[in-house]
Amino acid sequence: MRVQRVLMPGADVESWTVLGEDHRPVEPVERFLSYLASIEKSPNTIKAYAHDLKDWMTYLGRHGIDWRAARLEDVAGFVAWLRVPPQARDGRVAVLPLAVLAASMLISYERAKAESLGFDARGGLMERAERLAARQGELEARVLASAEARAVAVAPATVLAALAEVRGRYADEDAFHDDLSGNGFDAGGYAEALERELKVEAVLETVAGRAAAVSDIDVDLYYPFHPEEFERPEIRRARQILITVDEALPGNGRAAALDRIATIAARLAKDPARFEEQALKHSECPTALNGGLLGDVVRGKLYPELEAVLFGLGGMEIGPVTESALGFHILRCDEVRPAGPVPLERVRGKVREMLESRRRRICRNAWLKTLGAG
């Protein structure tokens, strides 16, 4: 999942969206960001929300949680996850009070949209998720009043580093302070909120550290009893060249786009080795900068017409010009990996990390429930 810069067709207007693993916009996030653009929020504000919501959706996806069914404990887990080192979560290090606000605003927007269409969203999943941010302050107060919190301190340098990371996402100081102001913060208030969250996270990490260690035997036992988790689907490593169709843009009407992609296909028929060069020069997909590399693709991730072509190709074969809702594509299959079980030795480390994460989460959540019971 990644944040992608977007230029509005027919106008020199910048905005941002979030693309999923299938390289399509993540629909609930896209709807919300489009709404922000429609009420003339600045590109910097939209970019900030895009980053926060990418983190929220990534966290939920990796933990198998439907964003509409998220619970208070999930927000606490999300906040803690944001401080996990990048190598452990494949993301940036950040702690953002605004990240929880962004998730809450997305859910509030979806609720309002549902109600405008005549659906009763009260009491349902969206309202429960919306309450997460409102209850976060209560949870933090209980965590900070705990005995564990008395043994935890946050160094000023840690707060400054987190502030610098957030500040680095903005073009300049004015854009940063404008966004803070628009969300009800000044610099001092934001620093205090950030320090508060950092301390909450440090306490939660301390509590999670009480979880029992995972042994080699635990890993060896988990693997054979959960074979469905280690079945690898057929995978194709794919590249594409895309020429979009947009009748409003000169040179991108359907006839012109078809002519352009046909010219590229003719070049590749003469010299297939030029695929990456042609992608870099001509493709209108963000993957052009990486030679058109879409990455590893499984069934169900592409448009059906593209999937049919890709999964009919052999290694290093180039497919015919194919049309989708986006425009015209040429696909290349770089590698074919058949379906089958993944050997234990290839996933041992991941199984251990998963079991450790699960035990830490259970330990943390059990402790949070004791605070709630008090």
- Looking at residue 213, what is its pLDDT? 95
Stretch 294-307: mean pLDDT: 91
Stretch 85-103: mean pLDDT: 45
Report the C-alpha gap between 256 and 245 in whole angstroms. Answer: 9
Q: What percent of the chain has pLDDT over 70?
A: 75
- Looking at residue 90, what is its pLDDT? 45
Q: Which residue has the tokens 């939660």?
A: 204
- Looking at residue 70, what is its pLDDT? 63
Concatenate the DSSP letters of all residues of 99-110 into one string.
HHHHHHHHHHHH
Indicate if the alpha-carbon torsion angle 373, 145, 185, 73 is positive or negative: negative
Report the C-alpha gap between 126 and 68 in whole angstroms. Answer: 5
- Looking at residue 47, what is its pLDDT? 79
Q: Which pTM value belongs to this model?
A: 0.52
**In this structure, what token pair is assigned to residue 364?**
């943390």
List the beta bridge partners of residue 295: 238
Report the C-alpha gap between 229 and 241 in whole angstroms. Answer: 33
Stretch 278-293: mean pLDDT: 92
Helix, strand counts (H, E) of the chain: 14, 9
Report the C-alpha gap between 99 and 6 in whole angstroms. Answer: 22
Structure-model confidence comparison of residues 211 and 249, the more confident one: 211
38-52, 75-89, 129-143, range with the lowest pLDDT: 75-89
Neighbours of 285 (CB within 10 A): 20
* Cα–Cα nearest to 344, from 251, 218, 255: 218
CB 282 within 8 A of CB 327: no
pLDDT bucket at 260, cuts 50 / 70 / 90: very high
Give pLDDT tens digits for 224-246. 999 999 999 999 999 999 999 98
160-164, 202-206, 251-255, range with the lowest pLDDT: 160-164
- Looking at residue 170, what is its pLDDT? 72
* CATH-assigned architecture of domain 234-338: Roll (3.10)
Domain extents for the chain? 2-208, 216-229+341-373, 234-338
**Chain-wide mean pLDDT for the chain?**
80
Report the C-alpha gap between 332 and 278 in whole angstroms. Answer: 12
